[in-house]
């Protein structure tokens, strides 16, 4: 078995029931448009948002993975639409995985419409379209038929039926979102999305392998307990082909200043059958920074000494300097200090 085979084998050990899942972050709540395009422009306490995510996984085994993303979205037409607004945005995500430098890059444009339902609820529908590319470096791979009796020799010919080293395709997503905010102390948000609606072809071989649709559901709750503490429990579930993932947990926002301008964040999530994910963060006005760590609790811990992944996110939200340009600020209620 060559390095390519080892990469696939390790991936199967690590992922277990998650095998075949798309790229994703443990801090799913800080990658809103990658989870659900209906989150585009869905910003309770601001008018625009910019964010970056970075994930470094399995650094102490031979095939580490690095995933990065950046995104931005904005609310439009808030003057023109009395009970709703339009959200537009974009996101880019790149992943570098394994011994063969498997590089995945996707660029998405996203749009969503948000409609208020009375004074205490909101429904949203969103859609995004993107262009994705994956490529590998065959010079860094060896295969089973390149074994010379002592080691794998990349100079030997191979009959591995790879017909191309890069593949590109159009990728489509759609989603729905619902928010309920009966008062200033309670906020509930649930969403559902379908990824790869068009099931694009993705293969380095001559076959017709299609990406199966991926289904994502999430629930987020924010409850203000006092002028000092807000709790934010949430859950996330995704299913793609026969692979699934479930995460449950939450974090606490602790007010460090009288006006809530400075907040300390801390919490814990659990990915069933895979990892415990503690997190800590700090918020200064509209800038939020969160660091989390995936501590492996699955059988992979026998191979990686229970070292999983670390992840960092940086999110900035703000309001328009000139509201006449894009529309007046008309935020819906969300617990805040």
Average pLDDT over residues 276-303: 87
Domain of residue 289, residue span: 3-326
Average pLDDT over residues 184-194: 96
| Residue 209 domain-assigned (yes or no) | yes
pLDDT of res. 5: 41
| Residue 333 domain-assigned (yes or no) | no
Average pLDDT over residues 209-228: 95
Average pLDDT over residues 194-199: 96
Return the ∠ at Cα 233 (arms to 41 and 120), rounded to 5°.
Answer: 50
Integer CA distances (angstroms), 155 to 6, 125, 138, 226, in order: 19, 53, 12, 67
pLDDT tens by residue, 83-110:
899 999 999 999 887 655 788 999 999 9
Say how many domains are in the chain: 1
Query: pLDDT category, 181, cuts 50, 70, 90?
Result: very high
pLDDT of res. 7: 38
Report which of 35, 8, 10 is spatially closest to residue 193, judged by C-alpha positions: 35
Query: pLDDT category, 11, cuts 50, 70, 90?
Result: very low
Instruction: Record the tokens describing residue 64, joined without a space.
Output: 């580490």
| Residue 177 domain-assigned (yes or no) | yes
pTM: 0.85
| Residue 296 domain-assigned (yes or no) | yes
Q: What is the CATH number of the domain that holds 224?
A: 2.40.160.40
Query: pLDDT category, 151, cuts 50, 70, 90?
Result: confident
**pLDDT above 70: residue 26:** yes
Integer CA distances (angstroms), 311 to 27, 198, 215, 218, 294, in order: 8, 30, 23, 20, 8
């Amino acid at each position: 078995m060559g390095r390519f085979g080892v990469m696939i084998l390790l991936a199967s050990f690590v992922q277990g029931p998650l095998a075949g899942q798309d790229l994703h972050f443990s801090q799913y709540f800080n990658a809103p448009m990658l989870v659900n395009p209906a989150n585009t422009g869905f910003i309770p306490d601001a008018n625009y948002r910019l964010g970056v995510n970075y994930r470094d996984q399995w650094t102490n085994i031979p095939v580490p993975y690095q995933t990065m993303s950046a995104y931005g979205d904005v609310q439009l037409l808030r003057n023109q639409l009395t009970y709703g607004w339009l959200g537009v945005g974009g996101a880019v995500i790149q992943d570098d995985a394994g011994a063969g430098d498997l590089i995945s890059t996707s660029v998405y444009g996203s749009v969503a419409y948000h409609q208020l339902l009375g004074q205490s609820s909101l429904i949203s529908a969103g859609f995004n379209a993107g262009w994705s590319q994956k490529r590998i470096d065959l010079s860094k791979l060896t295969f089973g038929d390149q074994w010379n009796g002592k080691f794998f020799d990349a100079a030997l010919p191979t009959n591995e039926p790879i017909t191309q080293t890069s593949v590109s395709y159009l990728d489509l997503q759609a989603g729905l979102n619902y928010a309920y905010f009966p008062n200033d102390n309670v906020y509930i948000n649930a969403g559902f999305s379908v990824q790869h609606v068009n099931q694009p072809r993705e293969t380095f071989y001559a076959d017709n392998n299609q990406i199966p649709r991926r289904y994502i559901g999430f629930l987020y709750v924010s409850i203000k307990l006092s002028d000092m503490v807000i709790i934010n429990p949430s859950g996330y579930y995704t299913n793609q082909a026969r692979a699934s993932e479930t995460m449950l947990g939450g974090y606490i926002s602790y007010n460090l200043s009288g006006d809530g301008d400075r907040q300390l964040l801390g919490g814990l999530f659990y990915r069933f059958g895979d990892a415990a994910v503690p997190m800590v963060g700090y918020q200064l006005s509209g800038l939020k920074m969160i660091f989390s760590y995936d501590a492996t609790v699955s059988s992979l811990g026998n191979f990686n000494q229970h070292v999983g992944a670390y992840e960092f996110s940086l999110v900035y939200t703000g309001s328009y300097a000139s509201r006449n340009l894009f529309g007046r600020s008309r935020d819906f209620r969300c617990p805040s200090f």
